[in-house]
Amino acid sequence: MIEAGTRAPDFTLEDQDQNEVSLSDFAGTKLVIAFYPADFSSVCTAQLSIYQEVIEEIEERGAKLIGISVDSVFSHKALQEELGLSIPLLSDFHPKGEVARAYGALIEKRGHANRSLVLVDEDGTVAFSMAAPTPLEIPGANVIFDALEETS
C-alpha cells in the first residue's frame, strides 16, 4: 500500500458518465480515494451506501470522495443508479488495475483492488492510507473522519 508522505501517482480515468477525471482535477482539495473490488457485490454495495450516507459530512470537512474499481463505466453507471449514489465511480478497467497497482491497492492474483482508502492532501501528497485485512472487511466511515481529523 502506498505510504503517507509519497507523492500521489497521477491518473486519468473515466467516470460512470464517461467523463475523464484526473487527480489534478482535485488540486487544492483533499481527496479520499476508496478502492473497492467490484460493483454489485454485497460488501461493495454496503460500503458505497455507507459512504453515500456521510458524503455531505466528508465534503463539510473540505474533502471530496471518489470510488475506483476495475469495473467498466457501464457497470458503474448501473450501480450508481441502483443505489442512488452521488459519489463518482471511476473505471480502472484498461489497462486493468493500473491505478490500483500504482497506489499499492491491487490484488494481482485476483485482478481487482483490495478494499483500501487513500487520503491525498491539497498538494497531491498521500496524507493517509490503509488497506483492509481482506476484501471482505469494510473500512468504516469513521476511518475517513479520523484521517481527515488527523491531517487538519
Let me know if residue 56 belongs to a domain. yes
pLDDT in tens, 101-150: 999 999 999 999 999 999 999 999 999 999 999 889 999 999 999 999 99
In angstroms, the CA 21 to CA 11 distance is 8
CA distance 16 to 78: 8
Res 51 pLDDT > 90? yes
CATH of the domain at 16: 3.40.30.10
Q: Which of 8, 23, 44, 90 is catalytic?
A: 44
Active-site annotation holds for 48: no
| Average pLDDT score over residue span 20-48 | 96
The per-residue pLDDT for 61 is 96
Query: Can you read off the three cell numbers belonging to residue 22?
Result: 484526473
The pLDDT of residue 102: 98
Percentage of the chain modeled with pLDDT above 90: 97
Domain count, the chain: 1
Domain that holds residue 136: 12-150
3-state DSSP call for residue 31? strand
Output the pLDDT for position 34: 98
Q: What pLDDT is recorded for position 65?
A: 98
Query: How far is residue 148 from each of residues 36, 46, 120, 134, measured CA to CA in Å?
Result: 20, 22, 10, 23
Percent helix / strand / coil, the chain, rounded to 5: 30, 25, 40
User: Does residue 140 belong to any structural domain of this protein?
Assistant: yes
Burial class of residue 141 (count of CB atoms within 10 Å of its CB; 0-12, 13-18, 19+): middle
Global pTM reads: 0.97
> What's the pLDDT score for residue 152?
82
State the burial class of residue 63 (Cβ atoms within 10 Å of its Cβ: 0-12, 13-18, 19+): buried
Cα gap 70→75, rounded to integer Å: 10
Is residue 5 in a domain?
A: no
The pLDDT-based confidence of 74 (bands split at 50, 70, 90) is very high
Burial of 9: CB neighbours in 10 Å, binned 0-12, 13-18, 19+: middle
